[in-house]
């Protein structure tokens, strides 16, 4: 159980922070809340005080009756400066909701509120959950400010999409749901149940591709494959739970989005290539779990091809770009690249080792697709992780456990390369 400091700023989404605090307290965490003056127009400090059982600070010059301590802790003997003491005792500091104005202030290091000065004084993990109108969220100024926070090591919990506070408006900008925020927070703090250390991926950006691409034949038909996206989503979920900031490029995945990850939906191999290329620039780790089509119809029909009068048909295919080879050709020092290989039979490892070299990878995760009950659309898998140093067999297990094994090898590869 952890000491969580929550900074609440002035947006309608402040009501969701009440729910978050309730969840966190119920889960056994010790929570303190600080608020900006504007946030009190949306939720009164008394509400947070009642749920946390601790005073709520709204002003830097206000003495803290708990002297920077957390509920249940012995009262510190020294009455320290509140904004420094509170964040000094915290295991994590989350600002939720974070308005566009607060984010601009944080990006420039402004300390004109208790929330801002605690941000500057924090040396625990800091998370920011933006909440605003979608036009404000997409404005270049906000994009720049968010990039600055990321570059400063702050974890951004991306807003979701849906109905917004202003009537009739719909889009990105809704603050992440309280359950998701708590899950991300706990992931950053604890690193889940993985073999890796607590939060051992904190500070890393992980890009995962998942699912299977679809290459149109005509307006209603496509060339596709059997990948469900389960393995890629398991890697994404576990990476987020171990503290990473995760982007998933999802090709036709019909599963609920993994908690705490940014999902970019694509359909074709070309769309996947473009989305991965954009996110790869800033990624530290790439896990390429998607089944990308190797060939696509040369000339897809805009309408629906009619069967009338035909006794058969031939579809001419052309090769797609190999996304992994393209990305590995552009890799920077410090990036770790993991590919997957769906192989069949006794030459599986030999082929995977050849792919490791040809595609310039740190690891290849080999799925033997000839084994029944695993791999495609199953909840379990069994893999061999092939690296330059040797092969590691990971016995049949839930895909989350396989994902942890892959991420453990990523951590090990990065430690060796450092």
Residues in 234-273 that interact with ligand CTP by CB under 6 A = 269
Q: Single out the residue of 62, 218, 322, 354 in contact with ligand CTP (rule: CB under 6 A).
A: 322
CA 272 to each of CA 107, 293, 306: distance values in angstroms, whole numbers, following the listed order:
31, 10, 29
Provide, rounded to whole angstroms, the least separation between the CB of residue 131 and ligand CTP: 35
Nearest-5° Cα angle at 91, 417 to 63: 145
Residue 323 is a binding residue for ligand CTP (CB under 6 A) = yes
HEC letters along 150-166: HHCCCEECCCEEEECCC
The answer to whether residues 213 and 292 touch, using CB atoms and an 8 Å cutoff, is yes
Q: Single out the residue of 48, 70, 280, 340 in contact with ligand CTP (rule: CB under 6 A).
A: 340
Residue 335 is a binding residue for ligand CTP (CB under 6 A) = no
Q: What is the DSSP letter of 291?
A: B
Provide, rounded to whole angstroms, the least separation between the CB of residue 276 and ligand CTP: 8
Provide, rounded to whole angstroms, the least separation between the CB of residue 205 and ligand CTP: 19
Q: State the binding string over 27-66 for ligand CTP (x if CB under 6 A, else -).
A: ----------------------------------------
Provide, rounded to whole angstroms, the least separation between the CB of residue 363 and ligand CTP: 10
Mind telling me the catalytic residues?
Answer: 225
Where is 319: in which H helix or E strand?
Answer: strand 317-319
Q: Single out the residue of 184, 231, 263, 288 in contact with ligand CTP (rule: CB under 6 A).
A: 288
Provide, rounded to whole angstroms, the least separation between the CB of residue 91 and ligand CTP: 36
d(CA 385, CA 365): 5
Residues in 344-403 that interact with ligand CTP by CB under 6 A = 355
HEC letters along 63-122: CCCCCCCCCCCCCCCCCCCHHHHHHHHCCEEEEEEECHHHHHHHHCCCCCCHHHHHHHHC
Q: Single out the residue of 87, 128, 341, 374 in contact with ligand CTP (rule: CB under 6 A).
A: 341
From the number of C-beta atoms within 10 Å of its C-beta (0-12, 13-18, 19+), residue 59 rates as middle
- Binding region for ligand CTP (CB under 6 A): 269, 288, 290, 292, 294, 320, 322-324, 339-342, 355
């Amino acid at each position: 159980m952890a000491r969580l400091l929550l900074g609440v700023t002035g947006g309608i989404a402040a009501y969701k922070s009440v729910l978050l605090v309730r969840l966190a307290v119920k889960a056994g965490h010790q929570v303190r809340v600080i608020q900006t003056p504007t946030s009190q127009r949306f939720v009164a400090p008394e509400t947070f005080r009642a749920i946390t059982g601790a005073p709520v600070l709204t002003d830097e010059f206000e003495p803290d009756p708990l002297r920077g301590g957390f509920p249940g802790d012995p009262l510190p003997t020294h009455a320290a400066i509140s904004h420094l003491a509170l964040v000094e005792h915290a295991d994590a500091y989350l600002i939720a909701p974070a308005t566009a104005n607060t984010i601009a202030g944080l990006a420039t290091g402004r300390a004109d509120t208790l929330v801002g000065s605690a941000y500057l004084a924090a040396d625990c993990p800091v998370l920011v959950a933006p909440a605003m109108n979608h036009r404000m969220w997409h404005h270049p100024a906000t994009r720049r400010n968010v990039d600055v926070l990321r570059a400063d090591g702050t974890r951004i919990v991306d807003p979701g999409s849906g109905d917004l506070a202003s009537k009739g408006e719909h889009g990105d900008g809704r603050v992440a749901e309280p359950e998701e925020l708590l899950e991300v927070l706990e992931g950053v703090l604890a690193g889940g149940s993985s073999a890796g250390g607590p939060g051992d991926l904190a500070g890393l950006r992980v890009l995962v591709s998942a699912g299977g691409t679809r290459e149109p034949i005509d307006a209603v038909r496509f060339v596709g494959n059997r990948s469900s996206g389960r393995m890629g989503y398991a890697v994404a979920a576990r990476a987020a739970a171990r503290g990473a900031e995760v982007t998933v490029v999802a090709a036709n995945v019909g599963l609920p989005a993994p908690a705490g990850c940014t999902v970019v939906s694509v359909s074709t191999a070309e769309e996947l290539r473009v989305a991965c290329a954009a996110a790869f620039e800033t990624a530290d780790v790439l896990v390429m779990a998607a089944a990308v089509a190797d060939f696509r119809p040369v000339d897809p029909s805009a309408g629906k091809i009619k069967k009338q009068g035909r006794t058969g048909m031939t579809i001419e295919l052309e090769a797609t770009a190999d996304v992994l080879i393209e990305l590995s050709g552009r890799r920077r020092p410090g990036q770790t690249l993991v590919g997957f290989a769906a192989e069949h039979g006794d030459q599986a490892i030999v082929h995977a080792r050849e792919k490791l070299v040809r595609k310039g990878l740190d690891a290849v995760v080999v799925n033997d697709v000839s084994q029944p009950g695993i791999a495609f659309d199953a909840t379990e898998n069994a893999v061999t992780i092939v690296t330059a140093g040797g092969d590691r067999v990971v016995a049949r297990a839930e895909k989350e456990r396989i994902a942890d094994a892959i991420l453990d090898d990523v951590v090990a590869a990065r430690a060796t390369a450092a």
